[in-house]
Amino acid sequence: MLKAVKQNQQRIIKAVLICALLTLVVIASKWGIASLTFMRAEQLHTQLIELNNYHSKLKQEEQDPDLHQDDDIFSHSSSSPRRSHEGGNPQSHKAEPKDPDLRQDDDVFSYNSSSPRRSHEGGNPQNHKAEPKDPDLRQDDDEIALHPERQGVHPERPNRHPELDLGSYKNQQQALYQQALNKITTAISLHNNPQYLEKKAQIIEWGAHHKLEPDYIKSLNQAKELYLKSTKLRPTWPGTWAALALIKWQLNEFDNELKRYLKNAHSFGKNSPEVHLVWAELAIAIKQSNNPQLINYLAPLQNIADYHIKNVRKISHQR
């Protein structure tokens, strides 16, 4: 009888251990998948930022009248989504002097293989006879469209920048943004991690500032709620409190809640660069506003603000 009871107890213990082990395996699997999904969301967010920076750079190059005409043919940032096929810094490349015996347009690169203007090939371009042009082509169809907004867009030009087409850029930007949101939402559903909550808040905040969200105020408040959820799981993380203070500032809400966020950021990370930056930027902006109400608002915290301003200047001098 006692032997049978002991055997039953052993079976129960084994069953419990197996269930516990299976539970741990399931949890570990979910967390592993969540971690991979989070990493993918981070990658998409980075691509989104790079795409935005790249598009801004292209627009600046198109609008800059001092930019050398040859320099913007292959001039792309090495960190941009579309890198130059050549190494080094394209901005530092110096053009070789032109041959005075050539016509003004002889050293312009042409995609037309029969064009006489390919200065990189041998032979005298003056003696080369151009083949008759297709009457259906425009006059500028065999030249590089360095300025698509002025010359029109040809679908078969390999060096054409589709990002300069506002519709194409916006579609690509919106697609990346939605993918990043979907990935981070999936990661949070698998593991309620404070870091994942912060990443989703950062993505939504970025989307609000770049007009990818229909309601700016609502989006910032949504990001704020995600940051607050993160503070409940990780209450001593200074960067989260600094991010909350920044959102309150963006919402133009100068109240006791903003002061609490600022104080928490200082208490938990008085030597954190991101805390230095938020404190310093806010203090300087309030001072430059010449708004007596805002200046009085910050007055009780001025000593802390001065401390962070001093550290920001120190960091900038070290760089």
Could you please report the per-residue DSSP string of 1-62? -HHHHHHHHHHHHHHHHHHHHHHHHHHHHHHHHHHHHHHHHHHHHHHHHHHHHHHHHHHHHH
Residues 206 and 315 placed together within one structural domain of the fold:
no
- Are 240 and 315 in a shared domain? yes
Q: How far is it, in rounded angstroms, from Cα 184 to Cα 35?
A: 10
- Which of 153, 180, 214 is at the close of a domain? 214
> Does 12 or 37 have the greater pLDDT score?
37
Spatial separation of the C-alpha atoms in residues 250 and 142, rounded to whole Å: 50
The answer to whether residue 87 is domain-embedded is no
- Burial class (CB within 10 angstroms; exposed 0-12, middle 13-18, buried 19+) of 240: buried
Same domain, 203 and 267: no
Residue 307 lies in a domain: yes
Is position 75 within any domain? no
- Answer yes or no: is 135 within a domain: no
Are 210 and 241 members of one domain? no
Do you know the residue count of the chain? 319
Assign residue 252 a region (left: φ > 0; alpha: ψ between -120 and 50; beta: otherwise): left
Report if residue 111 sits inside a domain.
no
In this structure, the answer to whether residues 207 and 262 fall within a common structural domain is no
Torsion sign over Cα 53, 58, 59, 60: positive
Q: Which residue has the tokens 């963006």?
A: 250
140 pLDDT above the threshold of 50: no
Q: Using one digit for the tens of pLDDT, what is the confidence trace for 85-119?
A: 333 443 443 444 444 444 444 443 333 333 333 33
Q: Regarding predicted confidence, which is higher, 244 or 74?
A: 244
In the prediction, which pLDDT does 92 show?
40
Q: Are residues 199 and 251 in the same domain?
A: no
Domain count, the chain: 2
Angle at 182 between CA 170 and CA 169, to 5 degrees: 10
**Distance (Å, whole) CA 131 – CA 143:** 15
Residue with more model confidence, 184 or 75 = 184
Residues 241 and 277 in one domain: yes
- Cβ neighbour number for residue 135 with a 10 Å cutoff: 5
Long-range pairs, 28-37, Cβ under 8 A, ≥24: 30/190, 30/191, 31/190, 31/191, 33/190, 34/186, 34/187, 34/188, 34/190, 34/191, 34/193, 34/196, 35/187, 35/191, 37/183, 37/184, 37/186, 37/187, 37/190
Same domain, 167 and 54: yes
Using alpha carbons, select from 50, 310, 41, 62 the residue that is nearest to residue 197. 41
Asked whether residue 133 is domain-assigned, the answer is no
Contacts of 289 (CB under 8 A, 6+ apart): 295
The DSSP H or E segment spanning 306 is helix 302-318
Please check whether residues 195 and 251 belong to one and the same domain.
no
CA atoms within 13 A on the CB side of 53: 13
Tokens of 189: 């559903």
Rounded to whole angstroms, the Cα distance separating 92 from 116 reads 29
Do both 311 and 165 map to the same domain? no
What per-residue confidence (pLDDT) applies to 271?
94
213 versus 318: which is more confidently predicted? 213
Q: Would you say residue 67 lies in a domain? A: no
Alpha helices in 99-212 (DSSP H): 148-151, 166-190, 194-209
Could you tell me if 167 and 316 lie in one domain? no
For the chain, counts of helices (H) and of strands (E): 10, 0
Tens digit of pLDDT for each residue in 196-252?
999 999 999 999 999 999 999 999 999 999 999 999 999 999 999 999 999 999 999
Q: Could you tell me the CA-to-CA distances from 308 to 46, 125, 275 in Å, in that order?
A: 28, 65, 8
Residue 70 falls inside a structural domain: no
The answer to whether residues 295 and 242 belong to one domain is yes
| Range among 62-76, 101-115, 147-161, 256-270 rated most confident | 256-270
Model's pTM, two decimal places? 0.63
- For residue 246, the enclosing domain spans 236-319
